[in-house]
Amino acid sequence: MRIDRLDRVVLTVADVQATIGFYSRVLGMEPVESVDGCHGLAFGDGRIDLRQVGRESGPRARRPTRGSADLCFVVRTPLEQVIAELISKAVRVERGPGGSVYLRDPDGNLIELSVYS
């Protein structure tokens, strides 16, 4: 077997609308809604689906927990510009090693923004 790509990741969140607001305002992701009313965020070729704590349905992780994810996104923008943009949006930036910047979403998930040379 050879896996081609990751289609989506699912985050369990306390407040779906607050999460949509953060990811769209801070990271420029596009809010999406599926036919069955599930909410998510689209970016590039990927997607993040959102499940509200206590309202998880269908197949899911054994212990869906908010704030337990570490996500890394590759950005094409120079790192100094990424940092300036995050600061202008009042986002607390945790500068990482090398070509990465770290921040946290409203649920405490760790988000890494990385520039590959």
CB 101 within 8 A of CB 79: yes
Looking at the annotation, which residues are catalytic? 112
In one-letter notation, the amino acid at residue 57 is S
Instruction: Copy the structure tokens of residue 103.
Output: 């921040």
E strand or H helix at 25, and its extent? helix 16-27
* Torsional class of 5: left (φ above 0), alpha (ψ -120 to 50), beta (otherwise): beta
DSSP strand pairing (94-95 vs 100-104): antiparallel
